[in-house]
Amino acid sequence: MRSLLAKLNLAWALVLHFLKRPFQDNGYRAFLDHYRADRLVPLSHVDKTWLLRFSQCLNCGLCDAACPALDTLPRESFPGPSALVTTLTRATGDFWAAGVDLSLCEGCRNCESVCPNRVPVKEALEFIEAKALETARGTA
Ligand code: SF4
Ligand code: SF4
């Protein structure tokens, strides 16, 4: 009899578990809220793959020397491809405060053709923009 009651109890707990499931927060929202103050957003597997590519930058500066945007713009508004790849891809939470205008990139890809490691700078800019928007949405 006790065994039957225990099994019924277990079965009832299982039924309740599945009934409540659609209404439960699986913790994802709480996880995001925990990092809200630091303006951190989750990184997908694809994001991590891109970060790995950006981390192949040697910081040699060859891309900056080949960047036409840096011939005319101050570094405060456009810091140049090497700084974007080495710094801003890892600090997208600070993007808006940095006051950088990514539209100032002319899209010529000179930076990539001179890069010894073929770091995808254009994709780095797109990554920064996407993550910065995601951060803004997450902290709004
Ligand atoms: S040329 Fe390539 S390796 Fe050198 S600083 Fe630019 S992105 Fe980095
Ligand atoms: S693609 Fe943008 S960052 Fe790269 S060299 Fe051209 S203007 Fe500079």
Q: How far is the CA of 72 from the centre of ligand 1 (A)?
A: 20
Cα–Cα distance for residue pair 68/110, rounded to 1 Å = 8
Q: What is the DSSP string of 37-69?
A: TTT-----HHHHHHHHHHTT-----HHHHH-TH
pTM: 0.74
- Per-residue confidence in pLDDT tens, the chain, 140 aa: 889 999 999 999 999 988 887 776 667 777 777 777 777 778 899 999 999 999 999 999 999 999 999 999 888 889 999 999 998 888 887 887 788 888 999 999 999 999 999 999 999 999 998 988 888 887 55
Homologous superfamily (CATH) for 42-139 = Alpha-helical ferredoxin (1.10.1060.10)
Residue-wise pLDDT tens digits, 62-103: 999 999 999 998 888 899 999 999 988 888 878 877 888 889
* Paired tokens of 14: 């299982």
The structural domains of the chain, with segments of one domain joined by +, span 42-139
Binding pocket residue ranges, ligand 2, CB within 6 Å: 66-69, 81, 105-111, 121-122
- Say how many CA atoms lie within 13 Å of 70 toward its Cβ: 16
